[in-house]
Amino acid sequence: MKAHILTITLNPTVDYATSAPGVEPGPKLRCTEPQIDPGGGGINVSRAIRNLGGQSVALIAIGGATGAHLLQLLALEGVATVAFQGPGETRQSVSVTDSVTGEQYRFVMPGPSWREDDMPRALNTVDQATGEGTLVVLSGSQPPGVAKEFPSILANHVAGREARIIVDTSGPALFDLVERPSGEIHTLRMNGEECEELAGHPHPLPADTASFAQDLVSRGVARNVIVARGADGSVLANAEGAWHAVGAEVPVVSKVGAGDSFVGAYTLALAREWSAADALRFGVAAASAAVTSEATRLCDRTLTETLLDQCRIAAI
């Protein structure tokens, strides 16, 4: 490993995944024994990195008994953690699959609200965990009360250590990054719907997505912009060019964790000093592997490496 990886999760969760024979309102739904996993964007990125044979440290805000349970789950998986006290109780999330139709219902709690004095504690913990040249991954939803400017604040905070920050966020935080470029973001990832909303028009072709992504790069939003186009793969643009990578054809069991698996593989590839195009293809392969697994099991190393040769990539 040539670079240290730090993932940040301000809004972690304990995920419960189960199934029931028919999901409908009214009657009690007799569920199967739940699969319980640690969750939240950055945590899942760290789990994916470990699955792929890499190492990282997961920096997380925890609270209450659920927070203690979360740390136990991560310890069982062998994920190194740095925890700090967040407000309230760590949240829980539930996904229920209708075993008759195969449809999945996901219930995601908002998490405890942050106060103004919670943020300095988070940034101090980041300072203690960030070394020279660290790859810092900020992934997942922001808890209520956290300023939309937090990704930019974080990027400026670690810039002096030559850290490379990778951001996978959505909503107001994403729009703020685009509207007020900090010039410090190494990689910004978003999905196709968010990209089209930012652009104000559809992107039917990968070339359309690439053009908009390159515009974001030229405006200083990020040095690399990645857009996930669902089944149509992902597009990456930077100052050197743009590429479109399409995943392998696999049976889809659950889409949960595919995005986090992508970010984990992409980040691990950067730590190994792979090119941007190769990192993109590795990310797509990991996402392809992730959708074949149930619940939040994420990508498998052997399957990811097998699928890598089946993932097509082309310059745009």
Question: Which residues share a beta bridge with 13?
Answer: 39, 91
Q: Sheet containing 104-108: give its strands across.
A: 35-39, 13-20, 91-98, 104-108
- pLDDT tens string, the chain, 316 residues long: the values are 335 999 999 999 999 989 999 899 999 999 999 999 999 999 999 999 999 999 999 999 999 999 999 999 999 999 999 999 999 999 999 989 999 998 889 899 999 999 988 999 999 999 989 988 899 999 988 899 999 999 999 999 888 888 999 999 989 999 999 999 989 999 999 999 999 999 999 999 999 999 999 999 999 999 999 999 988 999 999 999 999 999 998 988 877 789 999 999 999 999 999 999 999 999 999 999 999 987 667 999 999 999 999 999 999 9
312 membership: H or E segment, kind and range? strand 312-315
Question: How many C-beta atoms surround the C-beta of residue 208 within 10 A?
Answer: 17
Residues 6+ apart with CB under 8 A from 45: 7, 56, 137, 139, 260, 263, 264, 267
- pLDDT tens string 22-69: 899 999 999 999 999 999 999 999 999 999 999 999 999 999 999 999
Distance, in Å, from the CA atom of 216 to the CA atom of 207, rounded to the nearest integer, reads 14
Distance, in Å, from the CA atom of 65 to the CA atom of 80, rounded to the nearest integer, reads 19
Q: What is the gyration radius of the CA atoms in the chain, in angstroms?
A: 19
* b/e burial code for range 272-306 (CB count within 10 A of at least 16 → b): eeeebbbbbbbbbbbbbbbbbbebbbbbbbebbee
Q: Look at the pTM and tell me if it is higher than 0.75.
A: yes
Active-site positions? 260
**Structural domains of the chain in order of their starting residue, each with its CATH number:** 5-23+31-315 (3.40.1190.20)
